[in-house]
Structure 1
Amino acid sequence: MRTALGLLAAALLSTSAIATPVVVTQVSSKVGAMLPTHIGGRVERTADGYRRQWPGTYFEANFRGRGVLLRIGEGDVALRISLDASVPTSLFKPKPGLYRIDAASNGRHSIRVEIASESQAASTVFGGFYAAPGTRGLAAPARARQIEFIGDSHTVGYGNLSTKRDCTQEEVWATTDTSKATPALTAQRYGADYQVNAISGRGIVRNYNGMAADTLPAAYPFTLFDKATRYVDPAWRPRLFVIALGTNDFTTALHPGEPWKTREALHADYEQRYVDFVKRLRARDPDAHVVLWATDMVNGEIAAEVGKVAARLNAEGQRNVAFVPVTGLALTGCNSHPSTADDARIATALSGYIDAHPEMWVRR
Structure 2
Amino acid sequence: MNYINKCLLFLLISISCVSVAQKKADAKSLFEYQGRIEKMQDDKVVLIGSASSVSFDFKGNSCSVSLQSVENHQNYVSLELDGKYIGRIRIEKGDVKSFPIVATNNKKTHHLSIYKATEAANGGVLFAGTSAKLVENTAPKNRKKIELIGDSITCGYGNDASTIPCGSGDWYDQHNGYWAYGPILSRALNIDFVLSSVSGYGMYRNWNDEHLDEPIIPDVYENLYLNRDSSKPYDFAFQPDLVSICLGTNDLSDGDGKKTRLPFNEDKYVTNYIAFIKTVYKHAPNTRIVLLNSPMVSGERNVTLVKCLKKVIHNFESDKAHKPIELFEFQPMSPKGCGYHPDIADDKVMAEQLIPFFKKLLNEK
**TM score, norm. by length of structure 2:** 0.78
What is the alpha-carbon distance in structure 1 between the residues aligned to residue 343 and residue 256 of structure 2? 28
Deviation at 1:329, TM superposition (A): 1.2
Q: In structure 2, what is the equivalent of residue 63 of structure 1?
A: 58
Q: Which sections of structure 1, spanning at least 5 residues, go unmatched?
A: 1-30
Deviation at 1:149, TM superposition (A): 0.6
Q: Structure 2 vs 1, CA of residues 152 and 136 (structure 1 numbering), >3 Å: closer, same or farther? A: closer
Q: In structure 2, what is the equivalent of residue 252 of structure 1?
A: 254
Q: In structure 2, what is the equivalent of residue 339 of structure 1?
A: 343
2:120 matched to 1:116? no
What is the alpha-carbon distance in structure 1 between the residues aligned to residue 183 and residue 359 of structure 2? 17
Deviation at 1:205, TM superposition (A): 0.9
- The residue identity in structure 2 corresponding to 1:113 is I
Q: Structure 2 vs 1, CA of residues 358 and 238 (structure 1 numbering), >3 Å: closer, same or farther? A: closer
2:301 matched to 1:301? yes
Q: In structure 1, what is the equivalent of residue 33 of structure 2?
A: 39
Q: Which sections of structure 2, spanning at least 5 residues, go unmatched?
A: 1-23
Deviation at 1:345, TM superposition (A): 2.0
Q: Structure 2 vs 1, CA of residues 102 and 176 (structure 1 numbering), >3 Å: closer, same or farther? A: closer
Among 134, 137, 158, the residue aligned to 2:135: 137
What is the aligned-residue RMSD (CA, Å)? 3.1
Q: Structure 2 vs 1, CA of residues 65 and 82 (structure 1 numbering), >3 Å: closer, same or farther? A: same
What is the alpha-carbon distance in structure 1 between the residues aligned to residue 304 and residue 259 of structure 2? 26
Q: Structure 2 vs 1, CA of residues 194 and 210 (structure 1 numbering), >3 Å: closer, same or farther? A: same
Query: SS state of the match for residue 250, structure 2?
Result: helix
1:286-305 deviations in whole A, cap 9, x for unaligned? 44221111136253324533
What is the alpha-carbon distance in structure 1 between the residues aligned to residue 172 and residue 312 of structure 2? 37
Identity of aligned residues (%): 20
Q: Structure 2 vs 1, CA of residues 38 and 204 (structure 1 numbering), >3 Å: closer, same or farther? A: same
What is the alpha-carbon distance in structure 1 between the residues aligned to residue 269 and residue 112 of structure 2? 42
What is the alpha-carbon distance in structure 2 between the residues aligned to residue 71 and residue 303 of structure 1? 48
Q: In structure 2, what is the equivalent of residue 276 of structure 1?
A: 275
2:353 matched to 1:349? yes
1:267-325 deviations in whole A, cap 9, x for unaligned? 10110110111122123444422111113625332453344334433443343311111
**Residue pair 2:47, 2:53 contacting (<8 A) in 1 also:** no
Q: In structure 2, what is the equivalent of residue 228 of structure 1?
A: 231
More strand by share: 1
Q: Structure 2 vs 1, CA of residues 285 and 179 (structure 1 numbering), >3 Å: closer, same or farther? A: same
Among 77, 80, 87, the residue aligned to 2:78: 80
Q: In structure 1, what is the equivalent of residue 5 of structure 2?
A: none
Deviation at 1:55, TM superposition (A): 1.2
Q: Structure 2 vs 1, CA of residues 73 and 255 (structure 1 numbering), >3 Å: closer, same or farther? A: closer
**Residue pair 2:69, 2:123 contacting (<8 A) in 1 also:** no
What is the alpha-carbon distance in structure 2 between the residues aligned to residue 57 and residue 123 of structure 1? 10
**Residue pair 1:36, 1:140 contacting (<8 A) in 2 also:** no
Count of residues paired in the alignment: 324
- Max Rg structure: 2
**TM score, norm. by length of structure 1:** 0.78
What is the alpha-carbon distance in structure 2 between the residues aligned to residue 359 and residue 195 of structure 1? 19
Among 38, 43, 46, the residue aligned to 1:51: 46
What is the alpha-carbon distance in structure 2 between the residues aligned to residue 176 and residue 239 of structure 1? 27
Q: Structure 2 vs 1, CA of residues 86 and 288 (structure 1 numbering), >3 Å: closer, same or farther? A: closer
